[in-house]
Amino acid sequence: QVQLQQSGPGLVKPSQTLSLTCGISGDSVSSNSAAWNWIRQSPSRGLEWLGRTYHRSKWYNDYAVSVKSRITINPDTSKNQFSLQVNSVTPEDTAVYYCARVSYRGGNNWFDSWGQGTLVTVSS
């Protein structure tokens, strides 16, 4: 049973950096059959996929174009976790942020495990 535990501050000032961490139990961030994602949800934007990191002989990242210039997702193999950083935040980055695992089978993939969610408010 995979469990994802999120941590990080719920309040960030405009222009600063949003940082969240997702701890993994029951799987490995280095797994060759999973990918580790960040997704956010807000009333204005709905569910928005932000990006992923995954290991297939080497590490790969993919990011949504809407945040690509401001986002970094990094694995931490020593702690079996992965992190999200979003730079230069504005109030439009206010949302509930989720980490989620993607599993793969038969050419398809899906989000089968989710963190508990973190409400991040961007405000001074």
Partner 1 sequence: DIQMTQSPSSQSASVGDRVTITCRASQSISNSLNWYQQKPGKAPKLLIYAASSLQSGVPSSFSGSGSGTDFTLTISSLQPEDFATYFCQQSYSVPFTFGPGTKVDIK
| 8 Å CB contact between 94 and 42 | yes
- Residue 77 vs residues 4, 41, 60, 81: alpha-carbon distances, Å: 15, 27, 14, 7
Give the number of residues in contact with partner 1, rule: CB under 8 A: 23
Among 116, 120, 121, 122, binds partner 1 (CB under 8 A): 116
What contacts 10, CB < 8 A, 6 or more positions away?
118, 119, 120, 121
Say whether residue 8 binds partner 1 (CB under 8 A). no
Among 14, 26, 92, 112, binds partner 1 (CB under 8 A): 112
Which one among 24, 71, 98, 120 touches partner 1, defined by CB under 8 A?
A: 98
| Minimum CB–partner distance for residue 70 and partner 1 (Å) | 15
Whose structure tokens read 């989000």?
111
Identify which range of 21-29, 69-77, 78-86, 97-105 contacts partner 1 by CB under 8 A: 97-105
Provide, rounded to whole angstroms, the least separation between the CB of residue 73 and partner 1: 13
Residue 114 contacts residue 68 (beta carbons within 8 Å): no
